[in-house]
Amino acid sequence: MVGLGKRIRELRKQRKLTLVEVSGKTGIDKATLCRIEKGRMSGTLQSHLKIADALGIRLPDLYQQVLDGSHAEKDKKVRERLDKFSHSGGATSELLTAGVLSKKMLPVLLRLRSGGRTETEEHPATAERFVYVLSGEVEITVADHTSRLKAGESLYFQADRPHSIRNTARTESRCLSIMTPTSL
């Protein structure tokens, strides 16, 4: 996302934090944070959430100035980039609606390559998540419990508990995920 790295760097410096300190708070490697700040990589939604938390702001506040500062043509490109996030473990999340910063639900199409998985996520106490398997088979681990789901099956759970989704099929699996974020 154009301008996000610059925004992160500005906020970090305003708070008199070093890359090492932000790395310690987020668990994100210092070199990765540096690449994000320099615009060489965009990072994942999960890394953005961790960075925003370390900086003491909500994720929409991290994105808002970046979006507000875009010109009309650039704004469209920035929003397109916001629509897709790649997880490091072979998963991609695609936003299914525009203007997510003003919505109460976050609908996402989750694509997992064979053996792929999302990073472990944990959201605010009031967050809830619904996952419906469109194709393939997945395992959803919530805290210490693992559920195996096939196409047509779903799981509803409290998203404040550590959770991850893993594809157990030999082909790509697709899931519809709807979350009620309190702070995207």
pLDDT beneath 70: ranges in the chain? 1-2, 65-88, 100-101, 181-184
Which pLDDT score is estimated for 183?
A: 45
Residue 184 and residue 82 in contact, taking contact as beta carbons nearer than 8 Å: no
What's the topology of domain 4-82? 434 Repressor (Amino-terminal Domain) (1.10.260)
CA distance linking residue 80 with residue 59, whole number of Å: 17
**All residues at 6 or more sequence positions from 58 whose CB lies less than 8 Å from its CB, including other chains:** 52, 183, 184
**All residues at 6 or more sequence positions from 29 whose CB lies less than 8 Å from its CB, including other chains:** 23
Q: Which 3 state secondary structure label does DSSP give 66?
A: helix
CA distance linking residue 136 with residue 25, whole number of Å: 36
CA distance linking residue 115 with residue 154, whole number of Å: 19
Number of neighbours of residue 47 by Cβ within 10 angstroms: 21
Residue 176 and residue 156 in contact, taking contact as beta carbons nearer than 8 Å: no
CA distance linking residue 3 with residue 170, whole number of Å: 38
Q: Computed from CA positions of residues 70, 74, 80, 85, in that sequence, does the dihedral angle turn out positive or negative?
A: negative
Is the pTM higher than 0.85? The answer reads no
Domain 84-180, CATH class in plain words: mainly beta
Which pLDDT score is estimated for 83?
A: 53
CA distance linking residue 40 with residue 169, whole number of Å: 33
Residues of the chain with CATH 2.60.120.10: 84-180
Residue 165 and residue 119 in contact, taking contact as beta carbons nearer than 8 Å: no
Tokens of 106: 């976050």
Residues of the chain with CATH 1.10.260.40: 4-82
3-state secondary structure 132-145: EEEECEEEEEECCE
